[in-house]
Chains A and B, each alone.
Chain A
Amino acid sequence: MTECVECGAEVSLHDDLEVGEIIDCTTCGAELEVVDTEPPVLERAPELEEDWGE
């Protein structure tokens, strides 16, 4: 278990968590990215930006 960085609710984590994985907060719906696993650290996942060109 760890806390959602957006709403503070508890977020349950599975055992084979990997850095870079995106999980959802079931309380507020925020997309959270795992930035460390020992101990688990979550940050808000990057939002999709628009860019030009190829």
Chain B
Amino acid sequence: MSATMEDTADVSLEAARDLLIDLVATPSPSGEEGAAAERLVEFFDAYGREAWIDAVGNVRAPADDAVLLTSHVDTVPGEIPVRVDAADAADEDAEIANAGDDLLWGRGSVDATGPLAAMAVAAVRTGVSFVGVVQEETSSLGARHLVADREVEPDAVVNGEPSGATGITLGYRGFLNGTYVATSESGHTSRPEPNAIQHATNWWTGVEAAFEQDEYAPVFERVTAKPVAIDGGITDDGLSVEATLEAQLRVPPSMDVETIRETAEAALEIGTVSWDEPIPPVMESPRTEVARAFRAAIRAEDGEPRLLRKTGTSDMNLYADAWDCPMVTYGPGNSELDHAPDERLSLPEFDQSVAVLERVATTLREDDE
């Protein structure tokens, strides 16, 4: 879809901050994004931009596809009273805000309502496409639906996650989630034969050994194997011992998820593992037009650009797997506060990120014409 420069609208700094604070004050844990999505639709409506909520709950505001700005509407659970106060010296030491800056406290302020609101404002100011996706923190349902539902890919994508107003994230590791299950006959615990719980722990010991790597290698370049849930014991009928172990594996761009899965299964002696849909790793070039536009915009807003690769996984992995266009991830906030009980965002940093996004979207629209 195309648009003209006349499709732009001015959004004041005050209105931008109001949107951010309203969204942070609207609880939106994964699966319960409805009220926040409605607030976003109202925002676009107020500036004459068409917006609607799609079949899975995403907020869709299509316009000029020179760049698609997209971030997630959902947050992790956890109530943090919403307030604005002044940052202190400790905030400055922790690289969260300059002392004296207005600081917005609240769940999602960093991950990723700050990036989401900044993108909505920049999309209205510049007339580019916007999508707020749902359930990024759980199944990435919104992003999966978006790539399946769009008939054409955008010319470029900026995914919204906290990189800091001067940071540009180019890479994420991939993600593989598996559930191990084993059953053994029950028997007296004095018997030497291993039971299902031992089979599960033996498998996990084998997986960890298979992925043991040089501790001096950057984490981004390693496989990280992490058990996230374990359950086991005698079944209700008393005839068996059962064990389940849920595990997550982070996959570096130098490896593919199939190789990782085969390696983990090679450590299997007894039991089975069922794998969820994998998310491949992504590593974008710093030389794309999007990355170039960001560096220029960050410098124009008195920042020193930083290039990042993150050890986690985001919806950008899915977009890069589905679309060939260049992309980066960007947004205000210190990602050390992702999911933290003291999540908070510097409002001047939010303002700076809006200005950077506006410059980037304007540059990409002009380049596209």
Contacts and interface: CB of A to CB of B under 8 A. Distances in A.
A19 B360 CA distance: 12
A52 B334 CA distance: 10
Contacts of A47: 307
A54 B312 contact: yes
B335 A21 contact: no
Sorting the interface of chain B by its residue count into under 10, 10 to 19, 20 to 34 or 35 or more gives 35 or more
- Main secondary structure on B side of the interface with A: mixed
A51 B338 CA distance: 12
A44 B219 CA distance: 25
Contacts of A33: 295
Interface stretch (B96-104, B147-155, B286-294): B286-294
Interface in A32-54: 33, 35, 45-54
A54 B314 contact: yes
B299 interface: yes
B286 A50 contact: no
Interface string B166-181: 0101111000000000
A49 B204 CA distance: 31
Contacts, number: 77
B112 A49 contact: no
A22 interface: yes
Contacts of A35: 299
A37 to B, nearest CB: 10
A20 interface: yes
A18 B308 CA distance: 22
A46 B336 contact: no
Interface of B: 111-112, 161-163, 167, 169-172, 218-220, 286-287, 291-296, 299, 304-314, 335-336, 338
Give the top 10 A-B pairs by smallest Cβ distance, nearest first: A20-B296, A20-B295, A20-B292, A53-B335, A19-B296, A53-B338, A54-B314, A54-B161, A51-B308, A54-B312
